[in-house]
Amino acid sequence: MDLIVTLLITLILPLATGILFIYSDRRKQEPARNEELTSSINGLLPQTQCGACGYPDCHSYAEAIVAGASDIHQCPPGGTDTVSRLAELLEGTALFQHYDTSIDQPPLVAAIDEQLCIGCVKCIIACPVDAIIGAAKQMHSVLPKICTGCGLCIAPCPVECITLALAETRIKRFVWSKPGSTTAGVHA
Ligand code: SF4
Ligand code: SF4
């Protein structure tokens, strides 16, 4: 009996204390680790703050991914570039998710009906990436190469002359589609 008590005191107790210490230390570091991961994820997001992901801004979406409340496929402006970089970043972490091209949202781009545009510049003010050119009382146009398809310019337009359409396929964005899928090679 004494031997067991001695063993308990000399071996198991320090071991248990050590494990407890490591565990509590890890728990203490968790918020800092999560903040660091949130900031890395946020750094990969397009910073359009457009809310297309369902969160008020890019940082909130990054927090949701770290909290496990959202997957990495929710950012339309970021497109496949952002999803594949997020999958790469999260590889090896508990948050890792496969990059699933089948749920990609096809890239969208805004277009202005220049016949209807009254040149009120409200869309220019709304666009987070300066993808619209024009001057007061002059026709406005969207620069498709810059537009992320976030849709933020649509609501402020008083004559509703802005629409979103599928973006033109560019070599940089071409992805072979899965055999049998209906959308042949259009994803961004
Ligand atoms: S033009 Fe419109 S849809 Fe395109 S990035 Fe600007 S606000 Fe978004
Ligand atoms: S908000 Fe609409 S009407 Fe105003 S400048 Fe832009 S496209 Fe033209």
Chain-centroid distance of CA 169 in Å reads 21
pLDDT of the residue at 2: 77
Q: Which CATH architecture has domain 106-169?
A: 2-Layer Sandwich (3.30)
Ligand 1 site, residue 142, Cβ cutoff 6 A: yes
pTM: predicted TM-score of the whole model, two decimal places: 0.67
H/E stretch holding 133: strand 132-133
- The alpha carbon of 187 is separated from its chain's Cα centroid by a whole number of angstroms, namely 16
2-90: CATH, from 1.10.15.40, 1.10.3720.10, 1.20.1530.20, 3.30.1490.110: 1.10.15.40
- At 75-100, the pLDDT tens digits run 888 877 888 888 888 887 777 766 66
Task: Enumerate the domain spans of the chain.
Answer: 2-90, 106-169
Q: How far is the CA of 178 from the centre of ligand 2 (A)?
A: 39
Cα separation of 42 and 36, whole Å? Answer: 10
Pick the residue whose CA is nearest to atom 6 on ligand 1: 127
pLDDT in tens, 107-166: 789 999 999 999 999 999 999 889 999 999 999 999 998 888 888 899 999 999 999 998
Give the binding-site residues of ligand 2, using a 6 Å CB cut-off: 112, 117-123, 134, 140, 156-159, 161-162
Which residues, in sequence order, are bridge partners of residue 166? Answer: 108
Distance 172 CA to ligand 1 centre (A): 20
- Longest CA–CA span in the chain (Å) reads 95
